[in-house]
Structure 1
Amino acid sequence: MNPSTAQARVLVDELVRNGLRHAVVCPGSRNAPLSFALHEAAEAGRLTLHVRVDERSGGFLALGLAARSAVPTLVTCTSGTAAANLHPAVVEADRAGVPLVVLTADRPPELRAAGASQVIDQDRLYGPAVRLYDELSVAERRAGQVAYWRAQACRAWQAALGQGWAGPVHLNLPFREPLVPGGDADWPEPLDGRPGGARWTEVVAPGGAARVLRPTARRGLLLAAEGDARAAAAWAERHGWPLLAETGGAGFGGPNAISAGMWLLGVDEFLRRHRPDQVVCLGRPTVFRQVARLLADEGVEVLLVHRDTAGWPNPAHRVAQVGASLGEPTEPGDPAWLAAWQQAGKQAAVAVHAALDAENWPTGPHLARALVDALPPDALLVIGSSNPTRDVALAARARPDVRVLRNRGVAGIDGTVSTAVGATLAHGGPGYALLGDLTFLHDGNGLLIPPGEPRPDLAVVVFNDSGGGIFSLLEQGAAEHEAAFERVFGTPHDVDLAALCAAHRVPHTLAGDPDTLRAALRPAPGLRVVEVRGRRDGLRALHARLRSAVAAALA
């Protein structure tokens, strides 16, 4: 057996022993030893293998698999630009706390020095975005290496899981030729791992209880940006706190969940009368400016529950306490305070939906509401960045029976189709994704699934308003910037999404009315795209009318 094959087989075996379930291979020559080893493990039923020709899509596929399963997923590629194309998925995994094991193949030192093809400096390629980096020594035909390979595989796995804060790890593997299996199975020492399939190194969790936060206010708000939605709803109900979520009613429920909470935070007069004494943030809020304003209020104490209690975020630099979990408050919430928020939430929701019903169909909020209403129980909803995540939070009705996933680590539009594919495969049930047209086009290669590869039961729902609608709601969308807006912010396109889908043999439906949309959203096997076309030139005015309707209802 040649050294590259031996090393790759041992690494894959040890990672499987640690719990590896899914692996993504991006084909290349230099990572051939890993590709062969992963294929053998898949054929033996030890893991599920996914193959993607585009490394960026492959990285986000792995991200989606890991985000939904909470188990590290492996992704491997060859050297050079292939490794660089994994970087967007790595930084998202870093900021979102998603466990990834990234194995990049490399040339051995003598080929790097010779200026060989496909060589870049891959040492610490992803910088501080990884929990662990190591370059393994080049495998040689001698005894004394198997323990080292297995120990490093265990180290990488545990680093990906983290101590409460998971994330990506990077092993750079310089392989010498031959890169394909050949010869007999002879090797200078046994390649076997520990008996009974045990890990080479078992890591015992460090002792000591993680810091628990105990709120002290009777008039508080629980603001959920990440984490376990059901646990948040149960805590809020048990202790009498209003619960507001960055996803509105999608994924959250219970009597204390205020699905119109983001609208309430945007009404200054209401907030002046109902300013909380404490806000407990579950995770890092990233979407709404009204949330940022609340957390910057000097009269509001901010507590943060975050798994990374060493590198925690600090909204408005005003976090008073950080803890890994949320414990019992020192006293129960004020019933009158809770009732006021519940009543206002109901009034705001009625006003929003009545105002939306009076608007011409379709708009982004129309589509978000219709999609969330149509989701089957226990469905997965992946929400794209920019307008879709806002539309769901502002227009969707309460659906606590669905699972929501968003790439909010760095909140980019990269790889969202591939993330949805991976997450749906890990979910094991029907999946839906709500994306804008630019997000969809940015990861068109996410539709490129080779024949025979696992395919999700996923409906990708695209609101196509021909460009960057989010900028219409920002400062750039003001009338005084009209001359420059369309070219450098609106970025219109005339891409035929149906033709793009046809090129990938992915079914496409153009939903031109609500009835067609409802029919297209019914659960169905396989990957499909549902397109709804709208306009963005009236988006700024639409949101102004919806805000006015909410403010009037609360006056």
Structure 2
Amino acid sequence: MSGDSPGNAGGLTTAWSRAIIGGLLAAGVGRFFVSPGSRSTPLVLAVDALAHDRITVVVDERAAAFAALGYARVTGCPAVVLATSGTAPAHWYPAIIEADEADIPLVAISADRPIELYEAGASQTTDQVRMFGSHVRESFELGAPDPGALDRIADVAVRAVAAALAPRSGPVHVNARFRKPLEPTAEPATVHRPVRAPSIFVGEAAPSDAAMRFVRDAIAAAERPCIVAGPMPFGAAPRRDVARRLSRSSLDLARSAGLPVFAEATSGVAHAAEGAVIPLGAALEAGAFEGDCAPDLVIELGAFPVCSAYAKLAERLPSRIVVSASGARDPIGNASAFVLADATAFISALATSVAPATAERRRSCETLERALRAAMRASQRTLESSAAEPDASSAEPWIASEIARAIPSRGVLVAGNSLVVRDLEAYGAAHLGPDVTVLHQRGVAGIDGLIAGAAGARIAVPTDDPLVLVLGDVSAQHDIGSLTLLREANGALVIVIVNNGGGRIFEELPVRQAVDHVSTFDRLYRTPTVAGAFAHAARGYGIEYVAAAEPRSFTTALTQAVSRDGATIVEVVSQPEKSAPLRKDARRAARSAFEEALRA
């Protein structure tokens, strides 16, 4: 009997598939991102029968996986990505790696051929067992439907979700084999049997009493301690809810302990209008980690910060305590201690147990805060003066500032990588409202899948809350096929493409000096976009498109797009030869104002 002869009844296959999907739903899966295919038919029909309103169909498997990541980043609920056999699941690989490094819960289900067709020359058949190697938390091989295991297969689905959620959230691979017939051939009672499966609840990894004593003693012994919050892997929790708790506790800590908190926008810790919770990028621009202001103890929360300037300074810090639930991870290699705990649980415990600040420490913290706010105002004045000049073009630091100002309360900002996120941290973070959610693909800092990720996040964000993705032109080229996902966007979805003529970040790396000829450098590294490419792509996919070059037109386009239902691409052409000098001018103004305020 061949592997695809009807030796397995369609009724058993249907019941088996519905038990799997029922188990996933009971365990808390939020949405299914499905790519069409034949071998996955039993599972796809089961999803349609049990969770019809939770399906998003994405033709491209790579885009589907990144869209699933975007959804899971917002909700903390595991998303499922489902595809047929062969090369289809291999397209998930970049997103699987990102989910692994960013601790995002994801269940990847690949349909597969029966074992007797392996290494037999069968079409669309390859070895899919453990195909994602060490990048997944667990791999489950289900085998073909088995009547003897029908009562327990839902439990296996629940265990897959549990592995995606704890102890460290991340991706899980499930390989599900099916023989033909793949379609239901009958409707026996077993097909409609109720699925009994347990629910899953995940708690926080709280810090131990010993860890808290160690940290409190370190703070008491330090002269200039501070908190630095980097990109926060919220894992199996709604990002907005946890970020709100983290922000409140951080502000309480800054006020009670006289402990300044320097937070990246990607951390979820909102900077306060008053109180010593300051954007890290702005503090680095002002020189707050140098000279007499340099801290002698830094407590780092979450992943290592994006700001490249911080990495250079961190190498010289006398003491660093790293707090993370993701393990003892330190790219600098000079951490004094690791506290393996959830950052939100840690900061909440510290805020309620640390000794109140002495009068001297409180004065020092307040002085630093005033000086940094003066520095941020001076930097912003420099950006605004540049934008107000006759025939001014939209320089990238000003663009970052303007985007942050344009996002209303409860809006969502998705930050791309490379120069985009660096400008956001240095010039935009100070202008983000306290209820704005910031998402960032920081796991491996790739530029792929950003548009798809934003589309997936848009599904999870309430319709009334606008979502803005800002990315560079090379990143946009990389994911241009995902524009097809934007047509079904409910609510405002704004894609801001900062077109600076290619990969400008390479101009800041040593390779620029190593390559003698500009033409060679442009061909190998800068890779500028063909003129008009994004306008043509938007037209082809039926997406609203606006081009903006000078500051006023960009502000108008952005304001209108944020208020409009549906997707809009706003392409802003910047002049890189003006952006680099403006960064230097803004930094110079910030440092001058900072030093003057400290002397006052």
Matched residue SS, 1:508: strand
Q: Residue 174 in 1 paired to residue 177 in 2?
A: yes
Question: What CA distance in whole angstroms lies between the structure 1 residues aligned with 2:166 and 2:266?
Answer: 30
CA shift for structure 1 position 481: 4.8
Q: What CA deviation, in whole Å up to 9, does each residue of 1:376-409 have, x standing for no partner? A: 1100000001111111111113322211000101
Q: TM-score, normalised by structure 2?
A: 0.84
Q: Residue 374 in 1 paired to residue 383 in 2?
A: no
Matched residue SS, 2:485: coil
Q: Which residue does the alignment assign to 2:355?
A: 331
CA shift for structure 1 position 242: 1.4
- Quick one: which amino acid aligns to residue 448 of structure 1? T
- Equivalent runs, 1:490-509 vs 2, <5 Å: 490-495=526-531, 496-509=533-546
Q: TM-score, normalised by structure 1?
A: 0.90
Equivalent of 1:485 in 475, 498, 521? 521
Q: Which residue does the alignment assign to 2:389?
A: none
CA shift for structure 1 position 372: 0.8
Q: Which residue does the alignment assign to 2:84?
A: 78
Matched residue SS, 1:85: helix
Q: Which residue does the alignment assign to 1:48?
A: 54
CA shift for structure 1 position 184: 2.5
Q: Which residue does the alignment assign to 2:262?
A: 244
Q: What CA deviation, in whole Å up to 9, does each residue of 1:500-525 have, x standing for no partner? A: 01111010111233333233223211
Change (3 A) 1:313 1:193: same
Query: Any gaps of 5 or more consecutive residues in structure 1?
Result: none
Q: Which residue does the alignment assign to 2:549?
A: 512
User: Which segment drifts farther, 69-78 or 395-404?
Assistant: 395-404
Matched residue SS, 1:117: coil
CA shift for structure 1 position 102: 0.7
Q: What CA deviation, in whole Å up to 9, does each residue of 1:266-320 have, x standing for no partner? A: 5669612111121111111242222112222252x11112122xx3311411222
Higher helix share: 2
Q: Which residue does the alignment assign to 2:583?
A: 543
Question: What CA distance in whole angstroms lies between the structure 2 residues aligned with 1:205 and 1:91?
Answer: 25
CA shift for structure 1 position 120: 2.4
- Equivalent runs, 1:305-454 vs 2, <5 Å: 305-308=323-326, 311-323=327-339, 324=341, 325-326=346-347, 327-328=349-350, 330-333=354-357, 334-359=361-386, 360-396=392-428, 397-398=430-431, 399-428=433-462, 429-449=465-485
Q: Residue 525 in 1 paired to residue 565 in 2?
A: yes
Question: What CA distance in whole angstroms lies between the structure 2 residues aligned with 1:510 and 1:115?
Answer: 52
Matched residue SS, 1:147: coil
- Quick one: which amino acid aligns to residue 525 of structure 1? D
CA contact (8 A) 1:472 1:539 kept: no
CA shift for structure 1 position 340: 3.2
Q: Residue 462 in 1 paired to residue 480 in 2?
A: no
Change (3 A) 1:530 1:450: closer
- Equivalent runs, 1:150-229 vs 2, <5 Å: 150-163=154-167, 165-187=168-190, 191-194=193-196, 199-200=197-198, 212-213=211-212, 214-215=215-216, 216-217=218-219, 219-227=224-232, 228=243, 229=246
Q: Which residue does the alignment assign to 1:2?
A: 11
Q: Residue 58 in 1 paired to residue 64 in 2?
A: yes
Question: What CA distance in whole angstroms lies between the structure 2 residues aligned with 1:349 and 1:156?
Answer: 47
CA shift for structure 1 position 221: 1.7
CA shift for structure 1 position 65: 0.5
Question: What CA distance in whole angstroms lies between the structure 2 residues aligned with 1:454 and 1:265?
Answer: 37
Change (3 A) 1:489 1:542: farther
CA contact (8 A) 2:515 2:521 kept: no
Question: What CA distance in whole angstroms lies between the structure 2 residues aligned with 1:358 and 1:450?
Answer: 36
Matched residue SS, 1:171: strand
- Quick one: which amino acid aligns to residue 340 of structure 1? T
Question: What CA distance in whole angstroms lies between the structure 2 residues aligned with 1:50 and 1:392?
Answer: 31
Query: Any gaps of 5 or more consecutive residues in structure 2?
Result: 1-9, 233-242, 387-391, 596-600
CA shift for structure 1 position 57: 0.6
Question: What CA distance in whole angstroms lies between the structure 2 residues aligned with 1:64 and 1:487?
Answer: 32
Question: What CA distance in whole angstroms lies between the structure 2 residues aligned with 1:87 and 1:481?
Answer: 36
Change (3 A) 1:531 1:182: same
User: Which segment drifts farther, 423-432 or 60-69?
Assistant: 423-432
- Quick one: which amino acid aligns to residue 33 of structure 1? P
Change (3 A) 1:412 1:390: same
Question: What CA distance in whole angstroms lies between the structure 1 residues aligned with 2:468 and 2:204?
Answer: 39
Matched residue SS, 2:128: coil
User: Which segment drifts farther, 349-358 or 146-155?
Assistant: 349-358
Q: Which residue does the alignment assign to 2:7?
A: none
C-alpha root-mean-square deviation of aligned residues, in Å?
A: 2.6
CA shift for structure 1 position 107: 1.1
CA shift for structure 1 position 472: 2.3
- Quick one: which amino acid aligns to residue 378 of structure 2? A
Q: Which residue does the alignment assign to 1:114?
A: 120
Question: What CA distance in whole angstroms lies between the structure 2 residues aligned with 1:388 and 1:306?
Answer: 26
- Quick one: which amino acid aligns to residue 50 of structure 2? A
Change (3 A) 1:372 1:203: closer
Question: What CA distance in whole angstroms lies between the structure 2 residues aligned with 1:365 and 1:473?
Answer: 15
